[in-house]
Structure 1
Amino acid sequence: MRVTFYAVALTLASPSVAGDQTSASAMRVTDLPGGSAIGRLVFGGRSMCTGALVSDDLVLTAAHCLYDPFNGRKIDTSKMKFQAGMAGGKAKAVRGVVSAKHHPEYKHRKRGKNAQLGYDVALLRLNEAIPSSAAKPVPVGGRPAKGEMLGVVSYALGHKNDPAFAYPCQVLAQQSETLVMSCEVDFGASGAPVLSFGDGQKPALVSVVSAKAAMGGRKVSVGTSLDTKTLNALMTESWASLK
């Protein structure tokens, strides 16, 4: 199946057009184990993404979030903040970022260029650990199977102060490290955790959102699969350099 990409899911922190995303289920973000570990990332007031704690001081997000969407330059980490569990405009914890590293095989492309797919994942080290009483890290799972039930939690256009939960959705196609999913997302959802709900287990982080897309006229999302190969490369190359 051919996938036509029309927008990378990166947005300004203060969008001028509202457009709330609705959930396909009565399940709420507050019902999710580890939901408070998902938060809003802000970058000097110019852009916004979503991220999730994978340890008490490491946040997983999309690699392209580390670059200014206007000039393509890497953003100074001193201008980055992670707001864990943001709801109603209030966060469970707010931390600065002291270092950031994307997947070693990720190559950034400037705005207006076709987005690179696969390896669009990065780790941010926070300036101070977030205690488990405020937010427990999200467990990381493996590559989801086609048809597996998923959910995406994101902060995006029209709901920048409260998380939206797209659920249920599923994997439609896989190609190398890239997943095409039926989960609908909006601008700002870059880096949003894709959670698997397979086998009645607690939700596990299996991908991060890279882009909005269209496939055969249908709105879909695209993400980097967090399989063993991708995780190992990220953790051995990036994680080690952040310690």
Structure 2
Amino acid sequence: MWSVPVLPFKQLISSALFCALSGLAQAGSDLRADDSRLKSLETTDAGRDWEAVGRLDRLGEGFCTGALIAPDLVLTAAHCLYDRDTLEQIDATSIEFLAGWRNGRASAYRSVKRAVLHPSYVYDGTLSATRVRNDIALLQLQRPIRNTTVTPFETDVRPRKGARVGVVSYAQDRSEAPSLQEVCTVMARQDGVLVMSCDVDFGSSGAPVFSFEGERPRIVSVVSAKARVEGNPVSLGASLADELALLEAQLTGTHVGSQLPHGVSRVQVGEPRRRDMGAKFISN
């Protein structure tokens, strides 16, 4: 049986952040009224458009969710690269990406060659706005996936407060096929952190958060954590704007804004970071 990496719960949240989330959960109850239920993608037809979302297996020690954003790049949460008991970073080459994993089979299997994490990310067992905002990582695969059924997703600007988004994720109760929640709500946006009503669970770490406003879904965040405050579940999403560009520069060894090496495509990211006046998150 899989031991699933734990998304941080309320007992790991700083007291200031807990109070902020408590107020949001109460105020956001009306926003989640239109949220859709989880839809299993266990059939070929249901999962056809989501083959680039896959399970990230850690040598039998658990799994996270990740999404292909280039033929050889998987976007996920940085904390998926850490051992939650020792707080030490694990060897990225021990991870395998199973694109479109469903009922014992994947559209493509790839080992991870290396990983880059946000340079400001700190995994210390606590949960703060700073940690969530920087909770992203890029995994470079040993070989690109050039399967025509596995099309990498593009990224987009961060959604506004009140926007409808969706999540495709694996979790402890859906480890053999992903599920889609096509409609959930951005309850607040503060300093790069998205507070959402999306239904996530253990194993959903790193799951892509999608905007459906264009012709094809675009990734606007990744799932970093979940909490249950005053009986109301909330999920927290990391930022993708300046942070993703920074990771890409680390991966290619270039400066942000410089020309990339031949054959390497730039991951398009969204707007400059903006500050919202929602709940006040106190960073550690």
Range of TM-score over shorter length: 0.7 to 0.9
Query: Shift of the alpha carbon at 1:231?
Result: 2.3
**How far apart, in 2, do the equivalents of 1:168 and 1:35 lie?**
16
Alignment of 1:30-109 (within 5 A): 31=46, 34-109=49-124
Say if 2:205 and 2:225, in contact at 8 Å, map to a contact too.
yes
Query: Shift of the alpha carbon at 1:167?
Result: 2.5
Identity %: 42
SS in 2 for 1:99: strand
Q: In the alignment, does 2:15 pair up with 1:2?
A: no
Q: Which one of the candidate residues 217, 221, 228 is aligned to 2:231?
A: 217
SS in 1 for 2:105: coil
**How far apart, in 1, do the equivalents of 2:190 and 2:48 lie?**
30
**Paired position in structure 2 for 1:234:** 247
The TM-score, its normalising length taken from structure 2, stands at: 0.72
Letter in 2 for 1:101: V
SS in 2 for 1:117: helix
Query: Shift of the alpha carbon at 1:239?
Result: 4.8
Query: Shift of the alpha carbon at 1:114?
Result: 3.0
Change (3 A) 1:99 1:82: same
**Paired position in structure 1 for 2:173:** 158
SS in 1 for 2:93: helix
**How far apart, in 2, do the equivalents of 1:238 and 1:178 lie?**
23
Say if 2:110 and 2:142, in contact at 8 Å, map to a contact too.
yes
**How far apart, in 1, do the equivalents of 2:60 and 2:36 lie?**
28
Query: Shift of the alpha carbon at 1:201?
Result: 3.0
CA displacement, residues 44-64 of structure 1 (integer Å, 9 cap, x when unaligned) = 211210000000000000000
Change (3 A) 1:38 1:78: same
CA displacement, residues 44-88 of structure 1 (integer Å, 9 cap, x when unaligned) = 211210000000000000000001122211111221100000111
Query: Shift of the alpha carbon at 1:220?
Result: 1.1
The TM-score, its normalising length taken from structure 1, stands at: 0.83
SS in 1 for 2:175: strand
Letter in 2 for 1:236: A
What are the ranges of 5 or more consecutive residues in structure 2 without an aligned counterpart? 1-18, 23-34, 255-263, 265-284
**Paired position in structure 2 for 1:142:** 157
Letter in 2 for 1:149: R
- CA RMSD in angstroms comes to 2.3
Letter in 2 for 1:3: L
Query: Shift of the alpha carbon at 1:173?
Result: 0.3
CA displacement, residues 148-201 of structure 1 (integer Å, 9 cap, x when unaligned) = 111111111111110011221011001111100010101010000000112x53
**Paired position in structure 1 for 2:273:** none
Letter in 1 for 2:52: A
Say if 2:40 and 2:177, in contact at 8 Å, map to a contact too.
no
**How far apart, in 2, do the equivalents of 1:26 and 1:88 lie?**
15
Letter in 2 for 1:180: V
Change (3 A) 1:28 1:162: closer
Q: Which has the higher strand share?
A: 1
Alignment of 1:16-27 (within 5 A): 24=37
**Paired position in structure 1 for 2:204:** 189
SS in 1 for 2:182: strand
Letter in 1 for 2:110: R
